[in-house]
Structure 1
Amino acid sequence: MVAQKKALVVRGGWDGHHPVEATERFIPFLREQGFDVRIEESTAVYADGAAMAETDLIVQCVTMSEIAQEELTGLRSAIEAGTGLTGWHGGIADSFRSSSDYLQLVGGIFATHPAVGPGETRLEGEENYREHTVNITELGRQHPITAGIGDFDLRTEQYWVLSDDLNDVLATTTHPAESWQQWHRPTTSPAVWTRRWGAGRIVVSTAGHSLDVLDDPNVRTIIERGMLWAARTASAS
């Protein structure tokens, strides 16, 4: 009999990213895919070696906040041993800003979401929303997470991400050079990437600021496929 896979949903941090409502959107999918789902409202579980050893997938939605050293050590050790890690937007790419070891683990960190032009008005909560395109890379067109998905447009925060070349980038987004900005040429950031760390797999999607973005069919498909791809593989069990 094949043991049931175990998923750990860890949520918290800044309420503006709706960590409870956002993760609740994906818990039914995980259960439909055969995962036994455990939900934790803090990162303290990362320091529980026994719990982490039996976890096949971590879905993290914790924006900003801080992480204790023993929790970070537990998280890194679990991933090195084969546990998968995935998340979206600030819940993974803007977590634990003061921890360089965490930033090295996930391979990218939110730097900013460029503002709109002077005089442009937005509704409260949408001050930095921009129309922008998510472009699937050549690698992304072949990868199981993004295969069959074409370039798509979003109106939401456009993440400027600092990253490194250990990532396999499946999608990008380009920030234009604009007269009121201080940069002088367009710059491209990863929008979806995967990363191998030890025996573990990591998937990051930068879209997902609000619940309506998570409901976008392209965004939702990428996140759900990323969960399945990141989960512990047979070779890492």
Structure 2
Amino acid sequence: MTRKQALVVRGGWEGHEPVRATELFLPFLRGNGYAVRVEESPEVYADAAAMAGTDLVVQCVTMSEITGEQVAGLSAAVAAGTGLTGWHGGICDSYRSSSDYLHLVGGQFATHPGKEPCERAGGQEDNYLPYAVEFTEAGRQHPVTAGVEDFELCTEQYWVLHDDLIDVLATTTHPARPWQPWHRPVRSPAVWTRRWGAGRIVVTTPGHSLDVLENPNVRTVIERGMLWATRTVSAS
């Protein structure tokens, strides 16, 4: 039986520890029969032959830059059946200057609301808030999230701008607090899938730090997302 080919692309902002974060999932991929290739930049996306032979892309690249040729290569590969998945800023805060990448993924990090100003000390923890991840009716039936109960985290809570081509499996709600300028609670997607041609995309927004990635609920969703996103049609 031919082994599935997984491509892990990592880099960008070091605050998300792209190397250590992706290393958490390499044993899972190999244990599920994937041959794993690791790249430290998106340059490989422009290699049509390499991408045609890739069944799953796991991306962990926050911010950074991508060329038009590279994003076109990634989009074409997904449309042809290559799966794409990732978590947090590594997939939905990547390549901010590329509208084509945003169009592919379907959602873009906008902000992570912070604590009351008088409680802030100047570190990343200023943006750590307690919040709930709540599964939608679709999420309670989807293979990526079925059987996972609503859960709570205390970490960055992503506010995501998105379109309606995504299938939302879980949401999170940003309350309207007195020190913030919005006037009513805002619901944001926390986990979603997207069909792009023959390909499948899964985005999981929690995952700011290693302890969040090791949360059993977060890890389950990410790992199931890898399996579900993997190519389901034969590469030509």
Instruction: With the length of structure 1 as denominator, give the TM-score of the two structures.
Output: 0.97
Between the aligned partners of 1:144 and 1:75, the Cα distance in structure 2 is: 25
Distance 1:72 1:234 in 2: 22
Question: How many Å apart are 1:3 and its aligned residue?
Answer: 1.1
Tell me, yes or no, if structure 1 residue 157 matches structure 2 residue 165: no
Asked whether 1:171 is paired with 2:167, we answer: no
Shift of 1:236: 6.8
**SS in structure 1 at match of 2:117:** coil
Tell me if structure 2 keeps the 8 A contact 1:135–1:151. yes
Which residue in 2 is equivalent to 1:180? Answer: 179
Deviation at residue 90 of structure 1 after TM alignment: 0.2
Aligned to 1:140, the other structure's residue is in SS state coil
Determine if contact 2:81/2:233 at 8 Å carries over to the other structure: no
Q: Deviations over 1:61-100 (max 9, x none)?
A: 0000110111111101100100000000000000011111
Work out whether residues 199 and 236 of structure 1, in 8 Å CA contact, stay in contact via their aligned partners in 2.
no
Matched, 1:50 2:14: no
The CA deviation at 1:182 is 0.5
Cα distance between partner residues in 2 of 1:77 and 1:223: 23
Residue 137 (structure 2) aligns with: 138
Q: Distance in 2 between matches of 1:34 and 1:122?
A: 45
Q: Could you give the per-residue CA deviations for residues 174-197 of structure 1, whole angstroms, max 9, x where no partner exists?
A: 000111111000000000000000
Which whole-Å CA distance do the structure 1 matches of 2:172 and 2:124 have between them? 22
Tell me, which stretches of 5 or more residues in structure 1 are unaligned?
none
- 1:122, distance to aligned residue in structure 2 (A): 5.3
Counterparts of 1:1-237 in structure 2 under 5 Å? 2-121=1-120, 124-234=123-233
- Pairwise CA RMSD: 1.2
Return the alpha-carbon distance in structure 1 between the equivalents of residues 154 and 61 of structure 2. Answer: 23
Q: What TM-score comes out, normalization by structure 2 length? A: 0.98
Query: What amino acid is aligned across from residue 40 of structure 1 in structure 2?
Result: E
Instruction: Provide the rounded CA distance (Å) in 1 between the counterparts of 2:121 and 2:195.
Output: 39
Per-residue deviation, 1:147 = 0.5
Instruction: Tell me how far 1:118 sits from its aligned partner.
Output: 2.4
> 1: CA distance between counterparts of 2:235 and 2:164?
23
Letter in 1 for 2:184: R
Q: Deviations over 1:24-45 (max 9, x none)?
A: 0001000000000000001000
How far residue 132 of structure 1 moved from its aligned partner, in angstroms, is 0.3
Equivalent pairs, count: 236
Instruction: State the shift of 1:115 in Å.
Output: 1.4
Shift in Å, 1:207: 0.2
Structure 1 stretches of at least 4 aligned residues deviating more than 3 Å after TM superposition: 121-124, 234-237
Q: Is the contact between residue 57 and residue 84 of structure 2 (CA under 8 Å) also seen in structure 1? A: yes
The 1-side partners of 2:187 and 2:234 are apart by 34
Q: 5+ unaligned residues in a row in structure 2: which ranges?
A: none
Query: Aligned to 1:50, what secondary structure does the other structure show?
Result: helix
CA distance in 1, matches of 2:146, 2:192: 13
State the Cα distance separating 1:123 from its structure 2 match.
7.8
Question: Match of 2:90, SS?
Answer: helix
Determine helix, strand or coil for the equivalent of 2:95. Answer: coil
What is the CA–CA distance in structure 1 between the aligned matches of 2:57 and 2:120, rounded to whole Å?
38
Query: What secondary structure sits across from 1:138 in the alignment?
Result: coil
- How big is the shift at 1:125? 2.6
- The structural deviation recorded for 1:101 is 0.6
Output the amino acid matched with 1:10. V
